[in-house]
Amino acid sequence: MGETNNTEKWDKVISFIADEKCLLLIGPEIQQNESKSQSLVFREKLYANYEDQIAHYHQHDGLFLFKNDYVKAEISQDLKQLYTSTPYDETIYKTIAQIPFHLVISINPEAYLSDVCFKYNIRHRFSYFKSKEKAVGQIERPTRDFPLVYNLCGSIKDDESLILDYEDLFSLIGSALGIPGLPEELRAALDKIRTYVFLGFSFEKWYTQLLLRIICGDKKYPKYSVHHRFGDDDTKNFLMHQFQIEFLEEDFRFLDQIMESCKEKAKDPLNAHLYRPLSDPASADEVEIIRFISNNDLDKAVSKLVSMATGTALSAEAAAVSSRYYQWRDDKAGGKIDSRDLVVTFNQVVDAILKTAKEIAKTKAP
Q: Which pLDDT belongs to residue 91?
A: 94
In this predicted structure, the answer to whether residue 3 has a pLDDT above a threshold of 60 is: no
* 263 pLDDT more than 50: yes
Q: Is the pLDDT of residue 136 over 70?
A: no
Residue 112 banded pLDDT, cuts 50, 70, 90: very high
Is pLDDT larger for residue 244 or for residue 312? Answer: 312
Assign 134 a pLDDT band (cuts: 50, 70, 90): very low
More confident residue, 99 or 7: 99
Which pLDDT tens digit goes with each residue over 37-78? Answer: 899 999 999 999 999 999 999 988 889 999 998 999 999 999
Percent of the chain with pLDDT over 70: 93
Whether the predicted pLDDT of 206 surpasses 50: yes
pLDDT tens digits, one per residue of 315-354? 999 999 999 999 989 888 888 777 667 778 888 899 999 9
Q: For the chain, give the percent of residues with pLDDT over 90.
A: 48
Q: Give per-residue pLDDT as tens, 164-193.
A: 999 888 888 887 776 567 888 898 999 999
259, pLDDT greater than 60:
yes
- Band (pLDDT 50/70/90 cuts) for residue 84 is confident
What value does the mean pLDDT take over residues 104-123? 91
CA distance 172 to 18: 31
pLDDT of residue 236: 74
Q: What is the pLDDT of residue 135?
A: 44
